[in-house]
Amino acid sequence: MTQTLRLPVLAAALLSGAAFAQGLSGTWTAKDVTITLSQSEDQIEGSLVTDRKNIPIAGVVEGNQAFGEVTGPNGSMPFTLTLTGQAMKFQMTGPDGKALTFFLKRAKGGPAAAAPAPAPAPAPAPAQQAAPLVPEKPAAVPGAKSGLWKNDTEGWSVNGPPGWKGGEQKDGSILLGHDTEWGILRIAHQIGTRLEDARAQGENGFTFEGVMFTPTAPLAQLRVKAGTALAGTYEGQTLKGPYRIHNVALQGPLGILVLSGMAPVSNYGKMTQNVEAMAASATFFKGKAGIAVQHVAGRWWHWHGSSSVSYGTNGNSSFLSSEKKLWLCSDGRFSRAGSFSADVTTNSAWGTANTSGARDSSADGRWTAIGTPQAGKIIVTLNNGTREEMGYQVAAQGDKWQMYIDGTGYLISNDLGGCQ
């Protein structure tokens, strides 16, 4: 599942979460080590290259960590991997029982597959935080389109300002850039959100990329052809100087349409006019996909486990399991629970090394969904205010799973209880 930034609804982040949700797939490098991984749901496999040796690696992913084995010439060695943004900590236990630790970075241009985003680390103090991710100079997206942006499924359309080009991101939002004007424009439809929620959450400002953005004036109402809208402007001091964000939120039939613009104050230019021009052009209409609660409501269960045992002087064993539960109650209540455990033991002439770990997680909130009986997305608002979107797709005939939710296969299980 893609990780949702904890920002006020009206002050939606301008960038796609893709930078924080690339998963483990790709090439990771350090001074003496290169690790290449591919990820499929909660499993990874690949190779570790060091001293001209190519050693297979495989394991199971849980959140921002992975556990598994490196299969070396002297037997298997357990490893633990932790992902933080574009950095990776890789630790394995050698045949002599000693831990080897490597700190790697994602190689530029390496492949990256969509995967559950790692849990965010505690935000450092603003003085240590990098500036928000905006272009160092004006730049349009190569090969991007411009003009009318329309979502026939969700039922909305917006005209991009002249010269602004962009494309759809993995989270469904639209990002736009320009050849000569600074900044980024973003179009995002937040299903299940109300305009009054946006007002309550946007009045006092928000923190983005470790920087506090405060309103420059009270939120203002706008009258546009699509109906009532709320507008707000915020400023924050980053390491690269002051930045300004302007947001307009419009109420639609299924949620709010959030139009945002961000740029350095010194090069802010026509950003406010561009955002409000998009708001003036916005329209809502009946989309092809309707409310899909009746299609996906239920108690869903996923389990995956693996084990291996080998005998001899360099014998080893590993036991890995992952269980996930989702309660999508027909009255709108949402709950989830998950557990993960791993136990890897390696025997060698130098002794026995063991690595084990376990994790439990749970959350509650409210949910709705939009889509068809075959596919769509589930929108969750947790009790702590975090908003998440998870795609769903009915499995093909003959598949061992009944439905894929956020890329993970699930079965209906009435034995889970709940939802009464």
Q: Supply the pLDDT for residue 74.
A: 63
Structure tokens at 106: 């994602």
- 384 in the Ramachandran plot: left (φ > 0), alpha (ψ -120 to 50) or beta? alpha
Q: State how far the Cα of 21 lies from the Cα of 369, in Å rounded to an integer.
A: 22
Give the number of other Cβ atoms within 10 Å of residue 125's Cβ: 7
The answer to the question of residue 192 being in a domain is yes
pLDDT one-digit tens code per residue, 345-360: 776 666 666 667 777 8
Least confident range from 95-109, 259-273, 332-346: namely 95-109
The reported pTM is: 0.51
In sequence order, the 6+-apart residues with CB closer than 8 A to the CB of 59 are 43, 44, 45, 66, 67, 68, 69, 79, 81, 320
| Residue 11 predicted with pLDDT over 70 | no
The dihedral built from the CA positions of residue 363, 364, 368 and 372, taken in this order, carries a sign that is positive
Please tell me whether residues 64 and 167 are part of one structural domain.
no
Least confident range from 74-78, 233-237, 359-363: namely 74-78
Q: Supply the pLDDT for residue 361.
A: 83
Please tell me whether residues 95 and 142 are part of one structural domain.
no
pLDDT one-digit tens code per residue, 200-229: 878 888 887 778 899 999 999 988 999 889
Please tell me whether residues 258 and 170 are part of one structural domain.
yes
Q: Smallest Cα–Cα separation from 297: which of 384, 363, 382, 371?
A: 371
Q: Supply the pLDDT for residue 9.
A: 41
Please tell me whether residues 230 and 100 are part of one structural domain.
no
The answer to the question of residue 241 being in a domain is yes
Q: State how far the Cα of 334 lies from the Cα of 364, in Å rounded to an integer.
A: 6
Q: Smallest Cα–Cα separation from 125: which of 203, 20, 237?
A: 237
Residue owning tokens 């998950």:
338
The answer to the question of residue 242 being in a domain is yes
Average pLDDT over residues 60-77: 75
Structure tokens at 181: 């004007």
Give the number of other Cβ atoms within 10 Å of residue 87's Cβ: 12
The answer to the question of residue 9 being in a domain is no
Q: State how far the Cα of 201 lies from the Cα of 7, in Å rounded to an integer.
A: 9
pLDDT band at 335 (very low <50, low <70, confident <90, very high): very high
| Residue 187 predicted with pLDDT over 90 | yes
Q: Supply the pLDDT for residue 126.
A: 29
| Residue 34 predicted with pLDDT over 80 | yes
Please tell me whether residues 212 and 90 are part of one structural domain.
no
In sequence order, the β-bridge partners of residue 106 are 28
| Residue 18 predicted with pLDDT over 50 | no
The answer to the question of residue 330 being in a domain is no
pLDDT one-digit tens code per residue, 251-288: 988 788 999 999 999 999 999 999 999 999 999 998 76
Q: State how far the Cα of 276 lies from the Cα of 226, in Å rounded to an integer.
A: 12
Q: Supply the pLDDT for residue 299.
A: 95
Instruction: From 96, 112, 128, give the residue that closes a domain.
Output: 112
CATH number, domain with residue 57? 2.40.128.30
Q: Supply the pLDDT for residue 32.
A: 78
Please tell me whether residues 84 and 146 are part of one structural domain.
no
Instruction: From 288, 321, 338, give the residue that closes a domain.
Output: 288
Please tell me whether residues 227 and 264 are part of one structural domain.
yes
Q: Supply the pLDDT for residue 412.
A: 93
Is residue 130 helix, strand or coil?
coil
| Residue 85 predicted with pLDDT over 70 | no
The answer to the question of residue 203 being in a domain is yes
The answer to the question of residue 14 being in a domain is no
Least confident range from 16-20, 149-153, 238-242: namely 16-20
Please tell me whether residues 185 and 270 are part of one structural domain.
yes
**Backbone phi and psi for residue 174, each to the nearest 5 degrees, phi listed first:** -115, 130
Q: Smallest Cα–Cα separation from 353: which of 33, 79, 146, 23?
A: 79
CATH number, domain with residue 259? 3.40.1000.10
Instruction: From 242, 265, 288, give the residue that closes a domain.
Output: 288
Number of domains in the chain: 2
pLDDT one-digit tens code per residue, 375-399: 888 888 888 878 888 888 898 888 9
pLDDT band at 16 (very low <50, low <70, confident <90, very high): very low
Please tell me whether residues 199 and 263 are part of one structural domain.
yes
Least confident range from 100-114, 169-183, 321-335, 348-362: namely 100-114
Please tell me whether residues 171 and 103 are part of one structural domain.
no
pLDDT band at 38 (very low <50, low <70, confident <90, very high): confident
In sequence order, the β-bridge partners of residue 325 are 301, 337
Select the highest-mean-pLDDT range: 138-152, 283-297, 306-320: 283-297
Average pLDDT over residues 98-108: 80
* Sequence-separated contacts (24+) of 358-367 with Cβ below 8 Å: 359/62, 359/63, 359/65, 361/63, 361/336, 361/337, 362/335, 362/336, 362/337, 362/338, 363/335, 363/336, 364/333, 364/334, 364/335, 365/334, 365/335, 366/332, 366/333, 366/334, 367/328, 367/332, 367/333, 367/334
The answer to the question of residue 18 being in a domain is no
State the chain's mean pLDDT as an integer.
78
| Residue 41 predicted with pLDDT over 80 | no
Give the burial class of 305: count Cβ atoms within 10 A of its Cβ; 0-12 exposed, 13-18 middle, 19 or more buried: exposed
Q: Supply the pLDDT for residue 313.
A: 62
Q: In this prediction, what percent of the chain has a pLDDT beyond 70? A: 76
In sequence order, the β-bridge partners of residue 377 are 370, 391
Please tell me whether residues 190 and 256 are part of one structural domain.
yes
The domain of 160 spans 137-288
Please tell me whether residues 102 and 156 are part of one structural domain.
no
| Residue 23 predicted with pLDDT over 80 | no
Q: State how far the Cα of 150 lies from the Cα of 251, in Å rounded to an integer.
A: 16
